[in-house]
Amino acid sequence: MIFRLDERLLFPEPGLAEPGGLLAVGGDLSTQRLLLAYQNGIFPWYSDDSPILWYSPHERFVLYPDELKISKSMRQVLRSNRFRVTSNTCFADVIKACSNAPRKGQDGTWITGDMQEAYIKLHNEGYAHSVEVWEGSILIGGLYGVWVGDVFCGESMFSKVSNASKAALIYWCETGNFKLIDCQVHTHHLESMGARMISREQYIAALHNSLL
């Protein structure tokens, strides 16, 4: 059953999501609603031609920083000092670059103008964060997401140069700020770095423990 949200600040039980993970439709992208969603393992994912859709997948693709795998070739890239990595220096540029990044099998982007505006507001209020990868003065890669306790809910990443997004993720893992990074969507390159599937129940338990 798909639930229709109204102005009340609440979500249905995540376990009631459809097999594909769709839980609810409607509501808004206010800071309060977004934070409530992330605290309960729910996130928005929709396109410009649809209402706001809220998902809680039955499995989550996650990376535990202490399980991070860095290939020998990637270590060589990092040692070369080719990249300079920063955090929270140009959040709006990162989310814009993520929205423009081509995605295999996708037309357009789910990072709509309204989504960008909402997450920039989350960033300005201290909840959403970005990592930036530079080559000289040029932004060539990065990621952004929402920080919930000691869980980082990764939203998207981009790379204009080979290995740039990997460098961003490695940097973020090595800060020691997180016990878990939610990668949401399975990719082979994230799997090669140690990401794996866990159940929704395990993921929500980790979220709630991080907020105690």
Residues 144 and 69 occupy one common structural domain: yes
Residues 179 and 192 occupy one common structural domain: yes
Residues 10 and 30 sit within 8 Å (Cβ to Cβ) = no
Residues 28 and 109 occupy one common structural domain: no
Residues 27 and 97 occupy one common structural domain: no
State the pLDDT at residue 104. 60
State the pLDDT at residue 155. 96
Domain boundary among 58, 83, 98: 58
Residues 88 and 187 occupy one common structural domain: yes
CA distance linking residue 144 with residue 92, whole number of Å? 10
Residues 76 and 131 occupy one common structural domain: yes
Residues 67 and 35 occupy one common structural domain: no
Residue ranges making up the domain that contains 42: 3-58
As averages over each run of 10 residues, the pLDDT of the chain (212 residues) reads 93 96 97 97 92 96 97 96 97 97 63 96 98 97 97 96 97 96 91 97 94 75
CA distance linking residue 7 with residue 82, whole number of Å? 49
CATH of the domain at 40: 3.30.70.3550
Residues 114 and 133 occupy one common structural domain: yes
Element (H, E) at 32: helix 31-39
State the pLDDT at residue 138. 98
Residues 27 and 86 occupy one common structural domain: no
Residues 158 and 67 occupy one common structural domain: yes
Residues 66 and 150 occupy one common structural domain: yes
State the pLDDT at residue 47. 87
Residues 147 and 187 occupy one common structural domain: yes
- Bridge partner list, 131: 87, 143
Number of domain units in the chain: 2
- Bridge partner list, 182: 62, 153
pTM of the entire structure? 0.93
